[in-house]
A = this chain, B = another copy of it.
Amino acid sequence: MTNQALKEEDLKYIWHPCSQMKDYETLPLVPIKSGKGVYLTDYDGNEYIDAISSWWVNIFGHSNEYINSRVKEQLDTLEHVIFAGFTHEPAVRLSKRLINLTASNLQKIFFADNGSSAVEIALKMAFQYHKNDGKVKDIFFSLKNSYHGETLGALAIGDVELYKDIYKDIMLKTVQVASPSLVDEDEAIEDFKKKLKEHEGRVSAIIIEPLVQCAGYMQMYDKSYIKKLKAICEEEGIFLIADEIAVGFGRTGELFVCDEEIKPDFLCLSKGLTGGYLPLSVVLTTNEVYQKFYCDYSEGKAFLHSHSYTGNPLGCAAANATLDIFENENIIEKNRAKVKKLEELLEKFKSLLNVKEVRQRGLIGAVELKGYKPEERIALKVYDYALKNGVLLRPLGHVVYFMPPFVITDKELEKVVQVAYEAITTLP
């Protein structure tokens, strides 16, 4: 099999995600034969450093031997079983660990398959919590420039026009409040308060991506905003949903952003949860929320949401293996040196004339360019240049970013940043 043969075969059949398929006429698909560590290898033998962790999911490298061994053991034991009425050790173990690793108020966990579904679950739980109390709170808040997934409910609560605008006639109405990533923190808080007043008594929850709006062009803000937001939420009886699907599992430097200082009412996790192996997501919530649904069946207050593969043992095995590595290898501590290294490497972008801003939170680095029109599609140019030089980058519009697997070495990180630097400095 060659790259060419597989590409042709692919385009006969497959409609790829997040793609204008016509773009593949000029920017060919890359068929990957194998992965090992940070490297992806195509059928012609070219290697690419996966500097975006394959859409922010991979943590400990491709085809990681330890995770492989644990998933294989699970295959030989129990590949799957219905999770209503039944349970299994990989899910119980994972649940206990996640609950112990997150804020102390988060005491119950609900499973799903992908990030969008996790967000929908949090929205439905928040809504039904009030409904079980006889109140209809039909409005959800989110931040401007936010992204929370692609199913219609998740899409409705997001705010990236590119993904959402087309479907506005068939979506749940939501309200976006000012984001601290785009305006001053206090201004953002004022806007939240103002809009709360406008929709008094009708707001179920506000959902945020803590610290980094990843799909929203890697816009960043500080934890101080989240603290202020949480204080108001508590006062007003609004749930705070923390969508840490992209930023969780160490990306921002800490294991999770919303810790003991924040205590969110809901925490959504996915992506890195399985180390980049398998679709699995969870929603953690409080015992208080759980209790509002706990009663005799006849009261009709149960949360009846389900997906066929809820709590899939293979996904749970990959997730447990991922947490093993975090613990056994003291990853969060180890990563601090890498965060520092990335900070140093990003320094040299600041003086470039076509650079508007350099941003970083933990192991997420972003270089925002300026002076280009959308129709120039410079993202594709940077993507193309990097690929030809052995690095997988996938800029968002005019923002070139780095979100590497944690197993990346300093030397590999230097290469990644150097290739991005060359790509940016050779732009027309």
A6 touches B92 (CB 8 A): yes
Indicate whether A71 sits within 8 Å of B75 (C-beta atoms), given known contacts A30-B86, A306-B150: yes
> Which chain B residues lie closer than 8 Å to A85 at the CB level?
16, 19, 27, 29-30, 383, 394
The number of chain A residues with a CB under 8 A from chain B is 130
B109 touches A13 (CB 8 A): yes
Say yes or no for A123: interface residue by CB 8 A criterion. yes
Say yes or no for A250: interface residue by CB 8 A criterion. no
Distance from A129 Cβ to chain B, minimum over Cβ atoms (Å): 11
B279 touches A307 (CB 8 A): yes
B167 touches A29 (CB 8 A): no
Indicate whether A29 sits within 8 Å of B152 (C-beta atoms), given known contacts A15-B109, A279-B309: no
Distance from A376 Cβ to chain B, minimum over Cβ atoms (Å): 11
B383 touches A6 (CB 8 A): no
Say yes or no for A14: interface residue by CB 8 A criterion. yes
List the B residue with the shortest CB-CB distance to A150. Answer: B305
A89 contact from B6, B27, B310, Cβ within 8 A? B6
A31 touches B308 (CB 8 A): no
A309 touches B278 (CB 8 A): yes
Distance from A272 Cβ to chain B, minimum over Cβ atoms (Å): 10
Chain A 282-319: CB-based contact to B (< 8 A → 1; otherwise 0) = 00010000100111111011111111111110110000
Chain A 119-155: CB-based contact to B (< 8 A → 1; otherwise 0) = 0100110011001000010101000000001111110
A–B complex contacts, Cβ < 8 Å, 19 sampled: A10-B91, A16-B85, A20-B302, A21-B302, A22-B297, A30-B86, A30-B87, A32-B78, A34-B78, A57-B309, A62-B80, A63-B79, A113-B279, A117-B150, A117-B151, A124-B152, A140-B170, A151-B152, A172-B172
Q: Would you list the 6 A-B pairs with minimal beta carbon distance, nearest first?
A: A152-B153, A17-B306, A20-B302, A279-B309, A18-B306, A13-B95
